[in-house]
Structure 1
Amino acid sequence: MPTPYRKILVAIDGSDESAQVLSRAAGVLSGNEGELHLIHVIEPLALAYGADVPMDVTDLQTGLMDQARAMASRYAAQYDIADTNVHVELGSIEKTILDMADKLEADLIAVGSHTRSGLALLLGSTARGLVPGAHCDVLAVKVDQKSS
């Protein structure tokens, strides 16, 4: 009999599809003994747009982090996820998710699968990219673009 999932790291981006990924992850969690963790990764603007950003983007980056924390907290509240299990990180998306999964000793990473909008912008190729480096199972949730 397979071992149940007890610690799941759910990668979200704040789109409508994030709710579907979180719902699926909650559905495979091992009852009351398991715990969900949320992660939202923001790539540094210098990384996303090249190192030659012609202005100081510190305030913009701080604002993005604050917005991401608020968004992640709203998702966490829907599933009674403790604030300590909500992770908003700055870094390379795949590496940051994998590093957090290792740090938490997660036994599953849940991420949205490839779509043409929403999660695809952030997590489309990430689902494929996580598998080779993951030390745990990866659940690629095929999100339904027609529902919210």
Structure 2
Amino acid sequence: MPNYHRILVAVDLTEEATPVLERAAGMARQHQAELHLIHVVEPLSLAYGGDIPMDFSGIQEQLQEQAEQRMAEFGELYNIAKDNRHLMVGRPESQIHELCEQYQIDLVIVGSHGRKGLALLLGSTANAVLHGSQCDVLAVRVGSQ
């Protein structure tokens, strides 16, 4: 088994983040690795593609503030240094890949719903992270099985 030195855990800040964080914290202890935490806030303009003529800036600010609060909570709970907590804006897979390169991450841990069939073909963040990653990726099954 490889020895990991820097582990990145990517979370969505819902209750489903808990098993992913638990696995990441355990792996970090086992390997005596530095643990990094990332959450990526997707711009609402990307989600709606500019089709809706609305100003999303107020809602986007609220999402950012809520994410900052949850990241601080998770960081404290799992003893992740403030410098290792990364709250970013953009496409999750792109930001995760960039952070992996920047910090020379050995292992990325993400949650996965274990989709099958058409849902798998349509893709997910975990799938996108896996296929574009230069390091190992561990997908932790979350949600209803």
TM-score (normalizing by structure 1)? 0.84
Whether the 8 Å CA contact 1:112–1:141 is kept in 2: the answer is yes
Whether the 8 Å CA contact 1:10–1:38 is kept in 2: the answer is yes
Following superposition of structure 1 onto structure 2, how do residues 79-98 of structure 1 map, counting pairs within 5 Å? 79-98=78-97
Whether the 8 Å CA contact 2:9–2:36 is kept in 1: the answer is yes
User: Could you tell me how far 1:30 is from its partner in structure 2?
Assistant: 5.1
In structure 1, what is the Cα distance between the partners aligned to 2:10 and 2:37?
6
Aligned to 1:112: 111
Identical columns (%): 45
User: Could you tell me how far 1:71 is from its partner in structure 2?
Assistant: 0.5
User: Could you tell me how far 1:85 is from its partner in structure 2?
Assistant: 0.9
Structure 2: runs of 5+ lacking an equivalent: none
Aligned to 2:132: 133
Alpha-carbon RMSD = 2.1
Aligned to 2:55: 56
In structure 2, what is the Cα distance between the partners aligned to 1:144 and 1:44?
25
In structure 2, what is the Cα distance between the partners aligned to 1:51 and 1:42?
17
Deviations along 1:10-55, one digit per CA (max 9) or x if unpaired, are 1111111101001101111255842111111111111011123412
In structure 1, what is the Cα distance between the partners aligned to 2:126 and 2:54?
32
Aligned to 2:46: 47
Deviations along 1:64-83, one digit per CA (max 9) or x if unpaired, are 11110110111111111111
Q: Kindly tell me the number of residue pairs found equivalent between the two proteins.
A: 139
Say whether 1:25 aligns with 2:27: no
Secondary structure of the 2:101 match is: helix
Secondary structure of the 1:103 match is: helix
In structure 1, what is the Cα distance between the partners aligned to 2:89 and 2:23?
25
